[in-house]
Amino acid sequence: MKYKLILLAILFVSFSSCKKEGGIKVLYLAHGLPQSHPVHKGIMAFQSALEEKSGGTLKIKIFPDAQLGSEREVLELLQIGSVAATKVSSATLSNFVPEYHILGIPYLFRGKKHKFDILEGPIGKAILAKGSKFWLRGLCYYDAGSRSFYTSKKAIRTPDDLKGLKIRTMNNQMAINMVNSMGGSATPLSYSELYTAIQQGVVDGAENNAPSFVSSNHHEISKYYTLDEHASQPDVLLISTKFWDSLTSEQQEWVQSAADESAQAQKVFWNESVEESMKAAKEKGVEIIIPEQSLFAEKSKSVLENFIKEYPEMEEVVKQIKAK
């Protein structure tokens, strides 16, 4: 913690007073994922594309592995301008920018094509823009797959199998409501504590995408993976408006173009990682269960109904997404 505070102090001074050295401007980009993760590879594609487009005048310094703090902590660093950019789950971002809650609605998307038609179209771009008033400008979406349940002792084949099970969720109200609506007992818990929590029986399981399931080694202690695919929340590449506003219009074009290119490259990295992860899970003896998703979708309808009651102004956007 002491080291992190010292590093943050150095970064703040560097970003605030030394944005430009010898004609080169450096963007500090921090995130919480390991360097083997497909999203990190997408960020590296962003780094490479931006340096090329700018002729080396804009560079990115990446701080992976939560070196500068959790997703929430890094978001706060963006808001005060001590870090230029980050990657964050849209679920975490919804605690700052309410419109991102929409992307967490269970079974909102009919499949991957529908999801990216929405995210890369007018609706998705409008949501990205909403963060600017909170100093968090969205650049693009990264594929984070779909979240599914995994458990250590009892297989989940229908929603009824969730009854009595403690399922770890993100500290996100919609995720909590979704698990509870299906009959489980949602248990918000730090991701860093989850391996031990499953191992010791503090929780019976969790929910996440395949690459995260395997990269966290949760497949070593969770022998059932149920592909109910209840949520498809993307990751979001963000830039601090404090940094964005310091760029010229040409530099802004370079940044946005590089981000868009990286989003397409990241999809390929993601698909490769899913294949590798599913293979690794099977090799560890994990039973892959393909359930009837409509049963889970039916059980979770109340989540959407409650969301519309809380955010009636967002009902029209939800209707537009479902009508596409």
The predicted-structure confidence for 97-119, as pLDDT tens digits, reads as follows 999 999 999 999 999 999 999 99
Residue 149 one-letter amino acid: F
Q: Is 82 helix (H, G, I), strand (E, B) or coil?
A: coil
- Least confident stretch, 17-21, 116-120, 207-211, 282-286: 17-21
Query: Average pLDDT in the 237-245 region?
Result: 96
Query: Average pLDDT in the 70-91 region?
Result: 92
Give the best-scoring range by mean pLDDT among 64-68, 93-97, 202-206. 202-206
Give 217-230 pLDDT, tens digit per residue: 999 999 999 999 99
Dihedral sign for Cα atoms in the order 262, 268, 271, 277? negative
Q: How confident is the model at residue 171 (pLDDT cuts 50, 70, 90)?
A: confident
Beta strands in the chain (DSSP E): 20-21, 24-30, 58-63, 85-89, 136-142, 147-151, 166-169, 185-188, 205-208, 224-231, 235-240, 287-289
Closest to 85 in 3D by CA, of 4, 8, 27: 27
Per-residue pLDDT at 21: 55
Angle between helices 301-310 and 173-181 in degrees, nearest 10: 140
Spatial distance between the Cα atoms of 1 and 114, rounded to a whole number of angstroms: 43
Which residue's entry shows tokens 């943050």?
8
DSSP structural state of residue 286: P
| Domains assigned to the chain | 2-144+234-274 (3.40.190.170), 147-232+275-323 (3.40.190.170)
The pTM assigned to this predicted structure is 0.89
Per-residue pLDDT at 18: 35
Average per-residue pLDDT for the chain: 92
Query: Average pLDDT in the 189-216 region?
Result: 94
Phi-psi domain of 315 (left: phi exceeds 0; alpha: psi -120 through 50; beta: other): alpha
Q: How confident is the model at residue 11 (pLDDT cuts 50, 70, 90)?
A: low
Q: Does the pLDDT at position 68 exceed 70?
A: yes
Alpha-helical regions (H) of 54-111: 71-80, 90-93
Spatial distance between the Cα atoms of 281 and 260, rounded to a whole number of angstroms: 32
Per-residue pLDDT at 71: 85
Spatial distance between the Cα atoms of 63 and 93, rounded to a whole number of angstroms: 19
